[in-house]
Structure 1
Amino acid sequence: MPLAIVLLASAYGGSLTLKYFDARGAAETTRVLLAIGGLQYEDKRYKIGPGFDAPEFKAEKESGALLLNLDRAPILMTDEGSIGQSKSMERYVAREAGLMGRSSFEAATIDMVAEHVRDVRDAQQRKGFSKMARGKTDDEKATLSAEWYGADLPGWLSRLEACVVQLSGPGAMHAVGGRISYADVCIWSLLREGSAEDVALVTKAAAGCKTLQCIADGVAELPAVSKWVKSRPVTSF
């Protein structure tokens, strides 16, 4: 881990509480960034019952505790106030952990790569084959899934690979600036997070993207990330 990250992380003296369901979901990238930065926080998880019933979440929503995220989770509570929107939370933690580059230009470039990753995720969601997608039969979802992993995703990843190669060269370990950044964590999440079945399909789709694979492997091998992934609660999503 670069020394700059350790110094910036140790300089942060405030308290942090991350509130989300007992799941990886929209909060997991923030948790990984917190782990890399060595930032201490309370990992507050709303238990999920049958039918996605979450009484504690409902009570907090009714109390007004989640207003800054429009009565949704996740939300990050700091000494200065609360932050809604998962991407805003990620960027806040990335800055505190020294993962947003060494200049305004590097920060914008890191943000650019992160937004490219979000475009890929949004395209997958629009495809509409997830378990939560409504209005489609299982056969229709299976067809859409095959299209996504077999054609759409390889195309997206090929373009993302070309972008990162132009930024840092083929086989680079980091997307921007020659050191670990928020962009690398987003790439790792895209390629390595999910069910074993999903990760296998993504890995196959990314077979020709050697630089993306190098970046994802580098993040996975960070001691803080490896420790978190091995010790985090086992959840269904």
Structure 2
Amino acid sequence: MGNAQYKLYYFGFKFRAEVIRLIFEAAGKPYEDIRFEQSKWPEYKSMAPFGTAPFLQVTSGSQTLCLGESVAIARYLARKFKLAGKSDEEAAIVDMYGDHITDLMNAMVRLFSEKDEQKKKQDQEKFDNETLPKHLKNLEERIIQSRSGFVAPSGLTWVDLYLFNFLDLQGDKAQTLFNNFPNIKKLDEKVRSNPKIAQYLKRRPVTPF
């Protein structure tokens, strides 16, 4: 779809949509960032492929494509904008680590939605002491192996932006994590200092998550 126009629909926070916004920003591609209040969701829900947000509308001429599922959208745009890896093999590695980060994102969602305080406390401890260090250790080793400072040897891909967003969602806790994973810290700094991303971070709305 050449000369496509992109409209991204999501609530007024980062979470699942932010990796998509970061891909548009890193690629320098224009898009409409439609952030709506929770009260407006019923109006948009019928437009979404699975009745979930975020979703993306891609319009080219008389054709409109509507995509749901944040990671599927991220992969589609990354391929379009050359942020998916330089070969099929690199793209597969990037996807693999992307799925690894999705595991962490999903674990975070389960923590948010757990109502039983006792169980929540146990789950949080398990996440902080087992799940998170294990996944970050795998990513740290991958960055060392790739020698580019990123997950892929060829440089920046969408998975680096996804990792950056995940770390950003950790708030103050990220600083402690960086002490144990110096290469992840360097990757975070590289993404943050990318000129296009740096400009976006200055102007994006401040939200708790």
TM bucket normalised to smaller: 0.7 to 0.9
Q: Deviations over 1:97-145 (max 9, x none)?
A: 210122211111111121121122334444x3x2x322x12x6534543
- The question of 1:93 aligning with 2:81 is answered no
2:4–2:58 contact (8 Å) kept in structure 1: yes
* Equivalent position SS for 1:214: helix
In the other structure, the counterpart of 2:47 is 65
Q: Flag the 1:206–1:120 CA change in 2: closer, same or farther, 3 A.
A: farther
> Residues 12-31 of structure 1 correspond to what in structure 2 (within 5 A)?
13-31=3-21
Q: Match for 1:190 among 166, 171, 195?
A: 166
Displacement of 1:214 in angstroms is: 1.5
Q: Is the 8 A contact 1:153 1:205 kept in 2?
A: no
Deviations 1:25-70 (A, max 9, x none): 211110011111111111112113xxxxx1x320233xx322x1x1
RMSD between superposed Cα atoms in Å: 2.2
CA distance in 2, matches of 1:154, 1:60: 38
Indicate the residue corresponding to 1:207 in structure 2.
179
Rg comparison, structure with higher value: 1
**Counterpart AA for 1:163:** R
User: 1:12 offset after TM fit, Å?
Assistant: 5.7
Gap runs ≥5 in structure 2: none
Runs of 4+ in 1 over 4 A off after TM superposition: none
Given that residues 76 and 84 in structure 1 are in contact (C-alpha distance below 8 angstroms), is that contact kept between their aligned partners in structure 2?
yes
Structure 1 unaligned spans of 5+: 1-10, 49-53
Number of residues of Structure 1 aligned to a counterpart in Structure 2 = 205
Matched-pair contact (CA < 8 Å) for 2:6–2:56:
yes
Following superposition, the deviation at residue 231 of structure 1 comes to: 0.7
- Identity over aligned residues, as a percent? 25
Q: Which residue number corresponds to residue 55 of structure 2?
A: 75
Residues 12, 96 of structure 1: 8 Å contact kept: no
2:142 aligned partner, one-letter code: C
Alignment deviations for residues 54-91 of structure 1 (CA, whole Å, 9 cap, x no partner): 1x320233xx322x1x1111110002411111111111
* From 130, 136, 142, the counterpart of 1:163: 142
